[in-house]
Amino acid sequence: MIIKTSNKSTPIKNPAKLFKCIHYNTIRLIYEPYTKEIRIFPCCVMSAKYDEKYSIGTLHYNDIINSNDLYNDLNHIFMNYKNNIMLEPTCNLFSCFDNTTVDSNVCSFNSYNNLGITKIQVSIVRSCNLNCIMCRNDKIIDDPETRDIYFTILDKIKNHKLQTLELTAVGEPFFYKKQTFDYLSNITKENDFNLVYIITNATLLNDSDLE
């Protein structure tokens, strides 16, 4: 990170002291249909590796279905991770950190605030209407079980006044357009999510959908 002052550029050894990563207090949920498990990752950088060793916990399909308070179940896993966080950097976006001290660690406990989860990225849907060459999804999949667990999760994380919900996937969130719009029409900023982000190819949307 470079901070410019007049005509000089001063490298900052520890930018974590200046700002907080936007993914702090974020979890990402990724569904593994073959094992029927939801893998929980602490941020999108870690989950982008799609490597089980970076997961901070798992919940089985039945755990999701039977949960009386899914947000608290997820938050318990997340807070346990925060309280036992490793002492080496885990974020690969920054190569300038001095990894010799806890204080300089982008993912140290001191870098987090005291809040629990404030942002949830739900990366569950694998169904898509396209078959893009650059996508890791190698075919169009319409899996009813994955669809059911996706919307079950969305329903069960409502009513917790979270900052952000992000719908993203290796598939297309609007593949199930009616259900997605029904869900979005029944959430509020006051009780559910202040912001909702959706990563979509937008090809299934028409003008009336966007009004």
pLDDT tens, position by position, 142-176: 788 888 999 999 999 999 999 999 998 678 889 99
Mean pLDDT of the chain: 75
| Whole-number pLDDT of residue 100 | 40
Task: Select the more confidently predicted residue: 66 or 110.
Answer: 66
| Whole-number pLDDT of residue 138 | 61
Separation of alpha carbons 23 and 90, rounded Å:
12
Average pLDDT estimate for 8-32: 58
Q: Using pLDDT thresholds of 50, 70 and 90, give the confidence band for residue 191.
A: very high
Q: Which residues of 149-158 are buried (b: 16+ CB within 10 A; e: fewer)?
A: bbbbbbebbb
| Whole-number pLDDT of residue 114 | 62
Q: Is the predicted pLDDT of residue 20 greater than 60, yes or no?
A: no
pLDDT tens per residue across span 50-95: 566 678 889 999 999 999 999 999 999 988 877 775 434 445 444 3
Range scoring the smallest mean pLDDT among 18-32, 61-75, 98-112:
98-112
Q: Is the predicted pLDDT of residue 98 greater than 60, yes or no?
A: no
Average pLDDT estimate for 187-202: 93
Average pLDDT estimate for 93-103: 41
